[in-house]
Structure 1
Amino acid sequence: MQKITFRKLIGENYIYPELQGHFIEFLGSCIYDGIWVGEDSEIPNYHGIRKDLVDAFQKLHPPVIRWPGGCYADVYHWRNGIGPRENRPVTYNENFGTFETDPNQFGTHEMMEFCEMIGAKPWFNINMMTGSPAEMREWMEYCNRQESTTLTRERKVNGHEAPFQVEYWGIGNEVWDGGGKMTPQMYANEYRKFTSSCPSFGSGDQAFPPKCIASGPDGNKPKERVVWTKDFFKEMGKYRMPSLYGYDLHFYNWNLKQLQTEKKFDEKQWYDVINGCKELENVIHEQRCLIDAGLEALPKPEGPFRAAPRKCELIVGEWGNWHSSAFNARPALYQQCTMRDAVTTALTLDIFHRNTGDVRMACVAQSVNVLNSLFLTDGEHCILTPNYDVFDMYQVHQGAYTLGFEEKNKDPEVCIFASIKNDDIYVNLVNTSYSESKKIELKFKQCPEFVEAKTLYSKDPQNYNDAKHPNRVRCKEGKAPAREKDSFQIALPAASVSVYHFRKTETEK
């Protein structure tokens, strides 16, 4: 039996809520039919945005949501998505096999209303490839300028008097491929030009400068990602350093060994995917070290004027399972989510939580109808995938602190993470075994009281939710653990995700 011992119930590293971020893009049916149904739709909606999706999203307290891409960002012109909807141009989207017209009904104002309804901060990705610094600057001015200008008056005419205060701005997307097939040197030059064009929105304590996020490497290419990051920061170190808040790494857990459906798999295929997601932890450590080395090598600025801070946050702007069958799906990249996806989603979030000192923000790709989704829509139906339950169970860690523990008789198939928030202790227990239940012991120096347990599992790991069976796989109340003095005995079902909640007693405070 694996034994976990908590010597001290004292928090360590702060868990940024932004590690549980989301990503949406005009790709397949993510936006249209997914989020946007239109005000005239028979499907219940809030000003055109699907009501049941908003209501369910609100419950997750999503911290940030990235839009409009992804690859689509680099062909998106923001002016196409403002003003009266009946006057907006119709464009065409070839992005990742979407091959559909874009009526531009979901634009800046609709995105901001969506963010306001679900309580998320927006992350806007600008068009670097087919756009210009002038277009980016005008979008920033339109969104964030307080003073009365032609652009802010236009924003008011379009329905929003106060500035949107968009904080995060991605400067290009995957520039190593669909974003321009650039070299790090080419991109660094473009990045300097675009970020130098950003407005500052005030000065001193009143300033609201954009937090510019650079396009990082392809996380799935071990050799290229190392060289890319080294070369990018070497280029940044030449002469004057531009503003650089974050560095956006993308990593997908590819399942491409054979063309197989994401809904049918054997035990070997289960473990291929489960083990594949674990690589991300090494990638994060590697990239954090490379970023820190690059920052350390920057020349010290000359003169009395304030220079850009020698700091850069690592961000994972896209992550999730990508099964081979998604390439042939219609709508594009539509993918069902089974317990296999739920377990890897839990493991990945635990990687972020465990390494909160190394990674600052992360966005699952994508939230609706694409790849590792939390929501799948089918006409009037909005189905919550098992991934939704994982995010729901794990939201307790937002704003908490990591909690250290010791392991004995470690079982490699049981993955553990713990956090503490005030007097509440949350322990994640993920059993990655395809078919075996597991027993573990949680031991405390001073035993807290058990509050509740939540467990997500299914008798068949291949199970998923659909319109006919929307609750086939759903989080349930877990069994109370058996207590023996200062320890708890817990049984974990095979292929399961559990969160156990304890609370400090008065003697421990």
Structure 2
Amino acid sequence: MTIHIDPKAGKGTISPLLHGQFIEFLGECIDEGLWVGTDSAIPNTDGIRTAALEALKRLAPPLLRWPGGCYADTYHWEDGIGPRDQRPTTYNENFGTFELDNHGFGTDEYLHLCETLGAQPWMNVNMLSGSVREMHDWMEYCNRAEPTDLARRRAANGHSEPYGVRYWGLGNEPWCGGGNMTPSSYMDLYRLYASAMPSFTHSNDEPSMMYPIACGPDGNKRVERVEWTRQLFQELASFRQPPISAYDLHFYNWNIEHPEDSSTQFDQAGWTRVVEGCLELEDIIGEQWGLMQAGLAAMPYPEAAKDPRLESVDLVIGEWGNWHLDAFEVRPALRQQVTMRDAVTTALTLDILQRSCDKVSMACNAQTINVLNSLILTDGDATILTPNYDVFMMYQGHQGAQALGLDRQDSQTGVYSFASLKDGRILVDLTNADMTQAVDQSLTLPVDARVEDFHCLTSNDPHQFNDKADPNAVRARQVGLDASTGRKFTVHLEPASVNTLTLSLV
């Protein structure tokens, strides 16, 4: 019943980009959620809901992905720039949204938000209904320093300096809504788009600032995901390789086969099913990483000595989170509540990503506001922070830290754990995924340490959630512990709880 933590057992640096977020024009994620417009009676800052903006500032997401998702493959970026009263009105059918789209929140609004939050932008290109020229012009608009027509257009819209957008996803989920493509047909298109990307350099010797991201598989399809990756890398190995920096895997923790189970109503079996479901991601990461390395090993050696051989591609996860059946049945589309079941799986998923920091470079929770695994819900003029928001806040200290080698779960207590080291402090995640039973968990170290802080996120009832009537029903709280120094510590973990313990090395 003991977790042993060795500060010298480092296994890699946790990229802050593993704590990324995702916003899409889906349901009320952006329109009426994040974006209310400058003429709204809801308090706003240049059209962005002020309460949501302030919450995001505290969260400080290192990465923010936009405009989709499925929406990206119907989005024409020029619809969303320039004076808002001159932007076209279109219709958004994206994943059951079925709403008019006035394009009030576009490229400049999004990139200004990223600048405000200190977040790196990750933008997805329309590869289904767009064109290579449209992609090229969008990149020029965002990044060109020289006074081209597109750069002057950006300046006229309020941003004279280039935005410096580095991360570009080429298409989205082409195996389904992005075109029902095959690895071969997608790679044919990818080669065109990636080859047309401007480099924004001033000599052939300078490396491009651009980071093109290819579409990986549907992580929920056990057979298809293997074949997609194997075949895509085979196609990539054929003749010369286009620019490729990363490969984007998507994985949702589906909970859609049990009509009696909803985001807020579930029994013990439903609790266990969803908690165990999120753990599959760790196996998928290992599987996909292995397939990628095998594919890279088969890359041809170029005939010309000066031509580089493709030897590495980063694995990224553009979308992850819980998806419950009732999200399909509501308006606005894909809105679902967040209970401790979701908070526990969010914590466990972040632990998987952090533990896999030697394999995964970036990841985005889907989605930040009002959709699926949300951190923020809005209801009219109310802005509600879900328990997932607390999990991300509790985990902020892992960003940039050294991941420490721990077993995922204590075989006797069932407690899931993760730990990292930064600046002489160890941050330990302790998740009691038992729905009803509390547990006392012991921890040991080979050196002396002192307790600095202990936070617990739990609720009186695991079905409880935050809403307009009770926005703080489920909140993380600081728990008083004896600030003793030693090599062994015991902490009490409430049932269905996410906990973080900070130890300072002496």
TM-score (norm 2): 0.97
Following the alignment from structure 1 to structure 2, what is the Cα–Cα distance between the partners of residues 79 and 53? 26
Following the alignment from structure 1 to structure 2, what is the Cα–Cα distance between the partners of residues 91 and 280? 37
Q: Give 1:422's aligned residue.
A: 423
Equivalent AA in structure 2 for residue 23 of structure 1: F
Following the alignment from structure 1 to structure 2, what is the Cα–Cα distance between the partners of residues 43 and 455? 33
Following the alignment from structure 1 to structure 2, what is the Cα–Cα distance between the partners of residues 497 and 9? 25
Q: Give 2:188's aligned residue.
A: 189
Following the alignment from structure 2 to structure 1, what is the Cα–Cα distance between the partners of residues 313 and 450? 41
After superposition, the Cα gap between the structure-2 partners of 1:387 and 1:303, relative to the gap in structure 1 and judged at 3 Å, is same
Q: Give 2:88's aligned residue.
A: 89
What displacement does 1:39 show?
Answer: 0.8
Equivalent AA in structure 1 for residue 493 of structure 2: L
Following the alignment from structure 2 to structure 1, what is the Cα–Cα distance between the partners of residues 380 and 115? 25
Unaligned segments of structure 2, at least 5 residues: none
Secondary structure at 1:349's aligned position in 2? Answer: helix
Contact 1:481 1:489 in 2 (8 A): no
Following the alignment from structure 1 to structure 2, what is the Cα–Cα distance between the partners of residues 229 and 170? 17
Provide the identity percentage: 50
What are the Cα deviations for residues 255-294 of structure 1, in whole angstroms up to 9, with x where unaligned? 0122232111111110010000000000000000000100
Q: Give 1:119's aligned residue.
A: 118
After superposition, the Cα gap between the structure-2 partners of 1:8 and 1:122, relative to the gap in structure 1 and judged at 3 Å, is closer
Equivalent AA in structure 1 for residue 218 of structure 2: D
2:274 aligned with 1:257: no
What displacement does 1:228 show?
Answer: 0.5
After superposition, the Cα gap between the structure-2 partners of 1:6 and 1:185, relative to the gap in structure 1 and judged at 3 Å, is same
Following the alignment from structure 1 to structure 2, what is the Cα–Cα distance between the partners of residues 457 and 274? 15
Q: Give 1:281's aligned residue.
A: 282
Q: Give 2:268's aligned residue.
A: 267
Please tell me the root mean square deviation across aligned C-alpha atoms, in Å: 1.5
Query: Which of 69-78 and 410-419 deviates more?
Result: 410-419
After superposition, the Cα gap between the structure-2 partners of 1:460 and 1:261, relative to the gap in structure 1 and judged at 3 Å, is same
What displacement does 1:306 show?
Answer: 3.3
Q: Give 1:149's aligned residue.
A: 148
Contact 2:36 2:48 in 1 (8 A): yes
2:247 aligned with 1:247: yes
Q: Give 1:451's aligned residue.
A: 452
After superposition, the Cα gap between the structure-2 partners of 1:258 and 1:6, relative to the gap in structure 1 and judged at 3 Å, is closer
2:315 aligned with 1:350: no
After superposition, the Cα gap between the structure-2 partners of 1:32 and 1:182, relative to the gap in structure 1 and judged at 3 Å, is same
Q: Give 1:178's aligned residue.
A: 177
Q: Give 1:473's aligned residue.
A: 474
Q: Give 1:490's aligned residue.
A: 491
Q: Give 1:336's aligned residue.
A: 337
Equivalent AA in structure 1 for residue 100 of structure 2: T
2:213 aligned with 1:213: yes
Secondary structure at 1:12's aligned position in 2? Answer: strand
Following the alignment from structure 1 to structure 2, what is the Cα–Cα distance between the partners of residues 113 and 482? 43
Following the alignment from structure 2 to structure 1, what is the Cα–Cα distance between the partners of residues 409 and 401? 25
What displacement does 1:412 show?
Answer: 6.2
Following the alignment from structure 2 to structure 1, what is the Cα–Cα distance between the partners of residues 296 and 8? 35
Following the alignment from structure 1 to structure 2, what is the Cα–Cα distance between the partners of residues 56 and 8? 33
Q: Give 1:403's aligned residue.
A: 404
Q: 1:121-136 alignment to 2 at 5 Å?
A: 121-136=120-135
Contact 1:10 1:420 in 2 (8 A): no
What displacement does 1:61 show?
Answer: 1.9
Q: Give 1:38's aligned residue.
A: 37
After superposition, the Cα gap between the structure-2 partners of 1:219 and 1:82, relative to the gap in structure 1 and judged at 3 Å, is same
After superposition, the Cα gap between the structure-2 partners of 1:212 and 1:484, relative to the gap in structure 1 and judged at 3 Å, is closer
After superposition, the Cα gap between the structure-2 partners of 1:485 and 1:63, relative to the gap in structure 1 and judged at 3 Å, is closer
Following the alignment from structure 1 to structure 2, what is the Cα–Cα distance between the partners of residues 220 and 74? 21
Contact 2:254 2:323 in 1 (8 A): yes
What displacement does 1:311 show?
Answer: 1.0
What displacement does 1:445 show?
Answer: 1.5
2:308 aligned with 1:311: no
TM-score (norm 1): 0.97
What displacement does 1:209 show?
Answer: 2.9
What displacement does 1:480 show?
Answer: 1.1
Contact 1:482 1:488 in 2 (8 A): no
Q: Give 2:300's aligned residue.
A: 299
What displacement does 1:18 show?
Answer: 0.5
Secondary structure at 1:321's aligned position in 2? Answer: strand
2:35 aligned with 1:26: no
Contact 2:454 2:502 in 1 (8 A): yes
2:237 aligned with 1:237: yes
Contact 2:315 2:361 in 1 (8 A): yes
Following the alignment from structure 2 to structure 1, what is the Cα–Cα distance between the partners of residues 500 and 231? 42
Equivalent AA in structure 1 for residue 37 of structure 2: G
Secondary structure at 1:377's aligned position in 2? Answer: strand
Number of positions where the alignment pairs a residue of Structure 1 with one of Structure 2: 504
Contact 1:242 1:308 in 2 (8 A): no
Following the alignment from structure 2 to structure 1, what is the Cα–Cα distance between the partners of residues 165 and 310? 21
What displacement does 1:207 show?
Answer: 5.0
Unaligned segments of structure 1, at least 5 residues: none
Contact 1:6 1:406 in 2 (8 A): no
What displacement does 1:5 show?
Answer: 1.7
Q: Give 2:201's aligned residue.
A: 202
Secondary structure at 2:224's aligned position in 1? Answer: helix
Secondary structure at 1:59's aligned position in 2? Answer: helix
Following the alignment from structure 2 to structure 1, what is the Cα–Cα distance between the partners of residues 13 and 336? 33
What displacement does 1:485 show?
Answer: 4.5
Following the alignment from structure 2 to structure 1, what is the Cα–Cα distance between the partners of residues 480 and 2? 19
What displacement does 1:301 show?
Answer: 1.2
After superposition, the Cα gap between the structure-2 partners of 1:8 and 1:77, relative to the gap in structure 1 and judged at 3 Å, is closer
After superposition, the Cα gap between the structure-2 partners of 1:490 and 1:388, relative to the gap in structure 1 and judged at 3 Å, is same
Q: Give 2:55's aligned residue.
A: 56
Following the alignment from structure 2 to structure 1, what is the Cα–Cα distance between the partners of residues 478 and 22? 29
Following the alignment from structure 1 to structure 2, what is the Cα–Cα distance between the partners of residues 183 and 484? 59
Contact 1:169 1:212 in 2 (8 A): yes
After superposition, the Cα gap between the structure-2 partners of 1:381 and 1:284, relative to the gap in structure 1 and judged at 3 Å, is same
Contact 1:3 1:410 in 2 (8 A): no
What displacement does 1:439 show?
Answer: 1.1
2:30 aligned with 1:17: no
What displacement does 1:405 show?
Answer: 4.2
Following the alignment from structure 1 to structure 2, what is the Cα–Cα distance between the partners of residues 220 and 493? 32
Contact 1:54 1:117 in 2 (8 A): no
What displacement does 1:304 show?
Answer: 3.4
Secondary structure at 1:445's aligned position in 2? Answer: strand
Contact 1:5 1:406 in 2 (8 A): no
